[in-house]
Structure 1
Amino acid sequence: MKIIIAGDGKVGGTLTRKLSAEGYDITLIDTDAKVINASLERYDVMAVQGNCTLMAVLSEADVEHTDLLIATTSADEINLLCCMTAHNMNPNLHTIARIRNPEYSEQIYHMRDAFGLSLTVNPEKQAAVEIERLLKYPVFLQRDTFAKGRVELVELRVSDGSVLRDVSLNELYGIVKCKVLVCAVRRNGKVEAPDGNFVLKEGDRIYVTAPSDNLTIMLKNLGIINHKVKRVILCGGGKVSYYLAQILRKDGVSVEIIEQDEVRARELAELLPNADIICGDASRRTILESQGLLECDALVTLTGMDELNIIISMYAKNCGVPQVITKVGHTERSSIQDSLQVGSLVCPKELCCNTIIGYIRALEAQTGAAISVHNIAGDQAEAMEFLADENTRYCGIPLKNIKTKKSVLIACITHKGKTEIPSGESYFENGDTVIVVTTGDVVIHQLNDIFQ
């Protein structure tokens, strides 16, 4: 598949890294020669320097023979014009535009055909939705759903007082009293695919797959109680805070936003009349304490600086805030972030890229292509959902008789609405949903790719 990526910033750069590693034919367009040259040195891609809205530049990038264009520049208007121009030059082209301004949402929905848009992505809105999901289940550091909500993959941290500390996975069933699967463990920034003899240690981040009902049983037997969040403090008044405040207020959650810029604070006060807007520096202890930090149920750090978010989150954790969520722009420092008490990490860039990659894999229209793809364990592993069909190999064969590729694990099978954590006797059939977790560098495009 031939793909043009217009805009080589955070999202564009991450897409280039991931898609070039999977062997896609990538052409980059950017106005900055230094950015272009840096990507050419790091990846096996083509590049064109210039304005991605110009027909001449798009033609030089060979848009007429391209399957997909992804516009990820920093300006919504440029992304829209780029997609509209490219689609006019190639009516068979699929286009994806990153649109961040909430004022454009309704207009783009009604004019998507005029703009030639196949898909729009909004990293900030996706981050807000993800944070709201985490706030509903405070114990989970990350939570992904599969099989129409029947299956979940969650991230938990083994704390100092956890009953899982120094427990081998062979002993897990005796503690949680239900069938769950620990499909990956991240320890000191490195991901391992554990076997039954693996012993959990304090600080481990474990990734557990199970039917939704089993997770509730597991939490109960671990002595973990989910408390409903009633009051949340948001540090930073950017787009994520705006979207998140809207969602939380609809859920009846009390929201306070601390924003340092007076103009932005006044703007938020007009946009969010049901939220409390405080003009102040969220990194100052006196501001946080005056706003009731010690009494809030959750604190979310959403400033534009990773370092500031981490510092505020660490202070909130130290003060005993029940739930802390930290927005980061980079996940490359996951080994450092794992050692810090910053609660759950949310990266808008990664969420956006995962959506785009899922669309690309579905676009390939391969037999058994992934229905959904989720990055886990600091982008070092993937959880993928597939639908088995008549062309899927080994249908009806017990898993104990099937050899899969190294670093590939069949984590869950859903058959006629019934979900199970598979054993050696389990098997999948035509129409079943199969959840697969991969670690390492193995690339899976379709279900048949998991087999040796």
Structure 2
Amino acid sequence: MNILILGAGQVGASLAEALVSEANDITLVDLDPGPLGQLADRLDVRTVAGNAAFPSVLREAGIESADLIVAVTQSDQSNLVACKVAHSQFGVPTRIARLRSPDFLDAELLSTRNFAVDFALCPEQEISDYIAKLLEFPEALQVVEFAEGRLTMVGVRAYDGGLLVGQPIRSMREHLPATVDARIAAVFRDTRAIDTNGDTVIHAGDEVFLLAASEHIRTVLKELRRMQKPVRKVMIAGAGNVGARVARRLEGQCEVKVIESRPARATLVAGWLDRALVVNGEATDETLLQREDIDGMDMFLALTNDDENNIMAASLAKRLGCRRVLALINREAYADMVQGGPIDIGLSPAQVSIGGLLTHVRQADVARVHSLRRGAAEALELVVRGDRRSSRVVGRRIEELPEIRGASIAAVVRDGQVIIPHHDTLIEAGDHVVVFCTRKRYIKAVEKLFQPVRPLFSFA
């Protein structure tokens, strides 16, 4: 696939990195040649420096042969204009835009006769929804859903004394009620995925991804892991676009305090919120945090635009007694470095946003993609189409499918019912199949497996 990515910031770079290993032709366009040069040195991509909204720049980038453009520059206006030009002047089949302002998220405005945006991504809203889901499961490192919420996957860290630590995976069945089924979809040890089977023994410190029907996931967690108290008090550092959205989302269900260093912004957001308390000050001020009862908080969310400030504020909040802390961290190396130390969760906004983009880029019939462990793995929800003649999977048992190293079928959703599959589970047309890929270089093989194929002969 020939893909133009407009914008070489965190989202654009992460998307390019995710797609370049999948035999796609990637061209990156950005005003700043600096990031382009760094990405060209690291990835097999073509780069063009210039304004992504200019037809001349898009033509230089090869838009006339593009199958897809993804406009993720820092400017909503540039993203919209680029999509409009791509559609009206160059006939690009698929156009995706990142839009930060809710004013632009209007179906009529984005329709083909106006800005011609097929899919609009609002990163701040995605991050807000993601954090709200994490607060529902305070013991989790990551929470994602499939099949319109019918299936939930939760990543947790195994701890000394836990029921599974020191036990083989197959023993999980002994701890669950007879009516509840679940699957350990993957295990990461020392930042690397390990090949698992029923005899694999869980170690303390392992990152374990559990998957079950959404109505059963709490039961599974309760049986297998020490549960934390529900989150009732939250402190947020930063009242920017993300912090303000999260505060607005949470203030109806939690006691929320927001710390904002800019007086004018603090005043503006205080007027926008109904119940949350907004405090003007620095989130790295130890005296301020103590005065605002940091040791009584269930969760501290460092959501400013500065990675270093987020790391420092979250680490300080943890040291001062906050039960659990999260830091928004753009630099992937920082997130890997700090998570699991004083900071419980290092959250990459680009990796949260990229799932929605990948859903529209994958070539099979993909209903949902979730980027896991900051891009190290992916979980795909694929819709099965065709019949036994036109499909490689329909009418086959899982044990009959070709083995793809690093990929496993973790769940099947059929007519709204969640099935935790076994080797003899039959795949049927219309199934939604969740595949966990711990090795991203094999995602293309997974897509190909689920793509319909034309029969060699047709009989009228």
Q: What is the TM-score of this pair, normalised by structure 1?
A: 0.90
Cα shift at 1:204: 1.4
Once the two structures are superposed, what CA deviation does each residue of 1:357-393 show, in whole Å capped at 9, x if it has no partner? 11112xx4x4xx2211111133221111112222332
Contact 1:370 1:446 in 2 (8 A): no
> 155-164 vs 9-18, which deviates more?
155-164
Give the equivalent residue in structure 1 for 2:332. Answer: 331
> 124-133 vs 209-218, which deviates more?
209-218
Once the two structures are superposed, what CA deviation does each residue of 1:312-354 show, in whole Å capped at 9, x if it has no partner? 3334334443332221113345542344132233222112222
Provide closer, same or farther for how the CA distance between residues 242 and 229 of structure 1 changes in structure 2, counting only shifts above 3 A. Answer: same
For the pair 1:380 / 2:381, whether they are aligned, the reply is no
Contact 2:384 2:431 in 1 (8 A): yes
Give the equivalent residue in structure 1 for 2:427. Answer: 428
Give the equivalent residue in structure 2 for 1:280. Answer: 281
Provide closer, same or farther for how the CA distance between residues 292 and 161 of structure 1 changes in structure 2, counting only shifts above 3 A. Answer: farther
Q: Which AA in structure 1 matches 2:51?
A: N
Choose the corresponding residue for 2:197, options 195, 198, 201.
195
Give the equivalent residue in structure 2 for 1:129. Answer: 129
Contact 1:388 1:447 in 2 (8 A): no
Give the equivalent residue in structure 2 for 1:348. Answer: 349
Contact 1:393 1:448 in 2 (8 A): no
Aligned equivalents of 2:416, 2:355: Cα separation in 1: 26
Provide closer, same or farther for how the CA distance between residues 394 and 66 of structure 1 changes in structure 2, counting only shifts above 3 A. Answer: closer
Give the equivalent residue in structure 1 for 2:454. Answer: none
Q: Which AA in structure 1 matches 2:27?
A: T
Cα shift at 1:273: 4.3
Give the equivalent residue in structure 1 for 2:456. Answer: none
Provide closer, same or farther for how the CA distance between residues 402 and 119 of structure 1 changes in structure 2, counting only shifts above 3 A. Answer: closer
> 285-294 vs 76-85, which deviates more?
76-85
Give the equivalent residue in structure 1 for 2:437. Answer: 438
Aligned equivalents of 1:320, 1:163: Cα separation in 2: 27
SS in 1 for 2:95: strand
Provide closer, same or farther for how the CA distance between residues 254 and 42 of structure 1 changes in structure 2, counting only shifts above 3 A. Answer: same
- Which residues of structure 1 form unaligned runs of 5+? none
Give the equivalent residue in structure 1 for 2:19. Answer: 19
Cα shift at 1:35: 2.7
SS in 1 for 2:253: coil
Cα shift at 1:265: 1.3
Once the two structures are superposed, what CA deviation does each residue of 1:203-253 show, in whole Å capped at 9, x if it has no partner? 21101112223322223323644644332110112111111112113x332
Once the two structures are superposed, what CA deviation does each residue of 1:424-449 show, in whole Å capped at 9, x if it has no partner? 22221112221111112212365552
Contact 1:193 1:439 in 2 (8 A): no
Q: Which AA in structure 2 matches 1:215?
A: I
Alignment of 1:292-307 (within 5 A): 292-307=293-308
Q: Which AA in structure 1 matches 2:210?
A: V
Provide closer, same or farther for how the CA distance between residues 414 and 72 of structure 1 changes in structure 2, counting only shifts above 3 A. Answer: closer
Q: What is the TM-score of this pair, normalised by structure 2?
A: 0.89
Aligned equivalents of 1:351, 1:424: Cα separation in 2: 32
Contact 2:290 2:320 in 1 (8 A): no
Q: Which AA in structure 2 matches 1:410?
A: I
Contact 1:155 1:205 in 2 (8 A): yes
Provide closer, same or farther for how the CA distance between residues 176 and 284 of structure 1 changes in structure 2, counting only shifts above 3 A. Answer: farther
Contact 1:191 1:377 in 2 (8 A): no
Provide closer, same or farther for how the CA distance between residues 334 and 299 of structure 1 changes in structure 2, counting only shifts above 3 A. Answer: closer
Q: Which AA in structure 2 matches 1:294?
A: D
Alignment of 1:38-117 (within 5 A): 38-102=38-102, 104-105=103-104, 108-113=106-111, 114-117=114-117
Provide closer, same or farther for how the CA distance between residues 163 and 319 of structure 1 changes in structure 2, counting only shifts above 3 A. Answer: farther
Q: Which AA in structure 2 matches 1:208?
A: L
Give the equivalent residue in structure 2 for 1:34. Answer: 34
For the pair 1:156 / 2:156, whether they are aligned, the reply is yes
- Which residues of structure 2 form unaligned runs of 5+? 452-460
> 347-356 vs 416-425, which deviates more?
416-425
Provide closer, same or farther for how the CA distance between residues 37 and 288 of structure 1 changes in structure 2, counting only shifts above 3 A. Answer: same
Contact 1:324 1:342 in 2 (8 A): yes
SS in 2 for 1:314: helix
Q: Which AA in structure 1 matches 2:292?
A: Q
Cα shift at 1:68: 1.7
Choose the corresponding residue for 2:243, options 228, 241, 244.
241
Contact 1:414 1:434 in 2 (8 A): yes
Provide closer, same or farther for how the CA distance between residues 237 and 210 of structure 1 changes in structure 2, counting only shifts above 3 A. Answer: same
Contact 1:234 1:302 in 2 (8 A): yes
> 337-346 vs 280-289, which deviates more?
337-346
Choose the corresponding residue for 1:217, options 213, 216, 219.
219
Cα shift at 1:92: 4.4
Aligned CA-pair RMSD: 2.3
Once the two structures are superposed, what CA deviation does each residue of 1:48-96 show, in whole Å capped at 9, x if it has no partner? 2222222221222232332222222222222222222332212444222
Cα shift at 1:150: 1.9
Aligned equivalents of 1:84, 1:424: Cα separation in 2: 48
Contact 2:384 2:450 in 1 (8 A): no
Once the two structures are superposed, what CA deviation does each residue of 1:261-299 show, in whole Å capped at 9, x if it has no partner? 222212212222432110111112211111111222221
> 419-428 vs 30-39, which deviates more?
30-39
SS in 2 for 1:255: strand
Contact 1:444 1:450 in 2 (8 A): no
Contact 1:6 1:69 in 2 (8 A): yes
> 114-123 vs 315-324, which deviates more?
315-324
Give the equivalent residue in structure 1 for 2:366. Answer: 370
For the pair 1:139 / 2:139, whether they are aligned, the reply is yes
Aligned equivalents of 2:241, 2:52: Cα separation in 1: 25
Aligned equivalents of 1:418, 1:340: Cα separation in 2: 39
Q: Which AA in structure 2 matches 1:137?
A: F
